[in-house]
Amino acid sequence: MTDDGPSTRTVLLALAVVTVAAVAPTLVAARPANEIPVEEDPPDAEALAEPAGDAWGRVPAADVALASAESSVPNAEDTSVEAVTVRAAQTDGSLFVRLSWDDATADAFTPGAENRTPDVTTFWDAAAIQLPANTSAHPGIAMGSDRTMVNVWYWSAPNTSQELLAGGPGTTTPVGDPAVQTSASYEDGTWHVVFERTLQVDDAGENRTTIEGERDVDVALAVWNGSNAERSGQKAVSEWQYFPLGPGAEGPPYATILWIVAGLAIAVVIVATVLGVQRT
């Protein structure tokens, strides 16, 4: 029996050409899967300071995995928060970052707490954002080093915030005249914490991260669950992510590209199998 249709080789070659044509432009403009998108000049920007406000629903989200930090403190591997959802937006004057995570209990400030001595087993929920003080450097994930400092924005549920400088584990010191403000909301078993940092500060590049759009900015995240006695080095942390604040090209994440390639490869295998059966 003769086969009047295209040969298997011809069909597969055509599919390969289509695959390359579809994927190549995506690869050229690809961005890493660890990018946290930053919405520029979002509508209702004045409402971003409200942690549970509707304005955040119009800001793209990134889900970031967390794992126990490497630490020598007791029970360092006993952490309970496995992921945090991050939304970021930039206005003319500030960068807003909202962290959201599930927590069955709100271990937070309560009325009258300022008048009592906390029990030694009382710990607060908390969260932090870590960035390189020098955005051209690549600090170690564990609070940087004496040569590659990190800037840390810290919030704890007694509704306190700090801006810190660190050069390795256990070296955090407060930054004078803080440029970071925080606000928080706990609703239906979820914390929403907003960090706001003004874009321009007097000593950016020395003690504070420059976030004025000259380059992308690395960022790492940490969460403490107070009811699980998490504190200090016992915390859930992310790997380095980044905010695309620089002028670089944007495109779909690498993870998306891999799924596209996998789908096309499966299609090629199916077509090849069908044509092979037809020829037998």
The CB-side HSE value for 128 (13 A sphere, CA atoms) comes to 25
Q: Please give the pLDDT value at position 203.
A: 64
Residues 187-245 have pLDDT tens digits of 999 999 999 999 988 765 567 898 877 789 999 999 999 999 999 999 999 999 999 99
Question: Is pLDDT of 10 > 80?
Answer: no
The pLDDT mean for the chain works out to 81
Task: Note the Cα 126 to chain centre separation in Å.
Answer: 16
Two tokens, residue 231: 């504190």
Question: Is pLDDT of 14 > 70?
Answer: no
Find, among 156, 141, 149, the residue nearest to 204 by Cα: 149
Percent of the chain exceeding pLDDT 90 equals 54
Q: Please give the pLDDT value at position 255.
A: 46
Q: Please give the pLDDT value at position 112.
A: 45
Two tokens, residue 1: 């029996």
Question: Is pLDDT of 163 > 80?
Answer: yes
Q: Please give the pLDDT value at position 105.
A: 92
State the Cα–Cα distance between residues 241 and 90, nearest whole angstrom: 17
Average pLDDT over every residue of 38-50: 92
Q: Which CATH number fits domain 38-248: 2.60.40.1190, 3.30.70.260, 1.10.10.10, 3.20.190.10?
A: 2.60.40.1190
Please report which confidence band the pLDDT of residue 276 belongs to, taking 50, 70 and 90 as the band edges. low
User: Scanning the structure block, which residue is given the tokens 């295209």?
Assistant: 6
Residues 133-143 have pLDDT tens digits of 999 899 999 99
Reduce the secondary structure of the chain to three states and give it as a string. Answer: CCCCCCCHHHHHHHHHHHHHHHHHHHHHCCECCCECCEEECCCCHHHCCCCCCHHHHHCCEEEEECEECCCCCCCCCCCCCCEEEEEEEECCCEEEEEEEEECCCCCCCCCCHHHCCCCCCCCCCEEEEEEECCCCCCCCCCCCCCCCCEEEEEEECCCEEEEEEECCCCCCEECCCCCEEEEEEEECCEEEEEEEEECCCCCECCCECCCCCCCCEEEEEEEECHHHCCCCCCCEECCCEEECCCCCCCCCEHHHHHHHHHHHHHHHHHHHHHHHHHHC
Question: Is pLDDT of 268 > 60?
Answer: no
Please report which confidence band the pLDDT of residue 27 belongs to, taking 50, 70 and 90 as the band edges. very low
Computed from CA positions of residues 265, 267, 268, 272, in that sequence, does the dihedral angle turn out positive or negative? positive
Please report which confidence band the pLDDT of residue 251 belongs to, taking 50, 70 and 90 as the band edges. very low
Two tokens, residue 74: 């007791």
Task: Note the Cα 21 to chain centre separation in Å.
Answer: 32
Question: Is pLDDT of 55 > 90?
Answer: yes
Longest CA pairwise span in the chain (Å): 94
Q: Please give the pLDDT value at position 38.
A: 96
Residues 65-113 have pLDDT tens digits of 999 998 888 889 999 999 999 999 999 999 999 999 999 999 986 544 4
